[in-house]
Amino acid sequence: MITGVEGVIFDLDGVLVNTAAYHFECWRQLAAEFGKTFTPDQGEGVKGVSREDALVYVLNVCGIEVPPERHLELATHKDTLFKAMIATLTPRGLLPGALEALRWLAERRVPIALASSSENARQILRYTGITDYFDAIVDGHMITRTKPDPQIFLLAVELLKLEPARCVVVEDAVAGVAGALAAGCRVIGIGEPDVLSHADMVVPAVGSIPLAEMFTSATVLSDPERKE
């Protein structure tokens, strides 16, 4: 059991919102435009990394050869596809247990941060109606190095005014788990234990996190500024 933590830092895609599938579909479509197949197993490699790094990965695993000067064009094309998909998001796009976990933490004044490499993170939060639950938001516009580099988590910890060891990160990607550990945080993995084996704890979904056991001294307080 993870104990002694005071704040929670959430990844976004695949943790709170079902957008990891959108990313995969966009990369699959891009590969298909070159007559190539991008499989769900290969899709694990684009989780938690920058769009540029994901593009290089997709090109490599699919055997697509394009000159470097086309990389920006292709990355922009993928982002255009993704923005069209997320524009249809509503609160129904939240993963099971996500809203309940955010509400539980907010009611007890547990500091909450978002650490997402996505440059579209704030739009996704707005579309799904959960922006106001976060005390700090770090997105892809605010970092120069992506996961597994710890930069994004160290910035989130700084904004929460907590020590890394007092924060638990909730991640679904191998790169995210590695970055959070490098930052000195505790980590809860969302997914398969054999994939996220380095996390301190692995659960199938956010709704399975034992928050009441982790924050035993937390007291419910009313906050009219928090969303209900």
Catalytic residue numbers?
Answer: 11, 13
Backbone torsion region of residue 35, taken as left when φ is above 0, otherwise alpha when ψ lies between -120 and 50, otherwise beta = left
Q: Which long-range contacts (CB under 8 A, 24 or more apart) does 29-34 make?
A: 29/81, 30/58, 30/74, 30/77, 30/78, 30/81, 31/58, 31/62, 31/64, 34/62, 34/64
Task: Single out the residue of 104, 125, 128 nearest to residue 115, CA to CA.
Answer: 125
Helix extents (H) in 63-198: 71-86, 98-107, 121-128, 151-160, 174-183
Cα–Cα distance, 6 to 112 (Å, whole number): 9
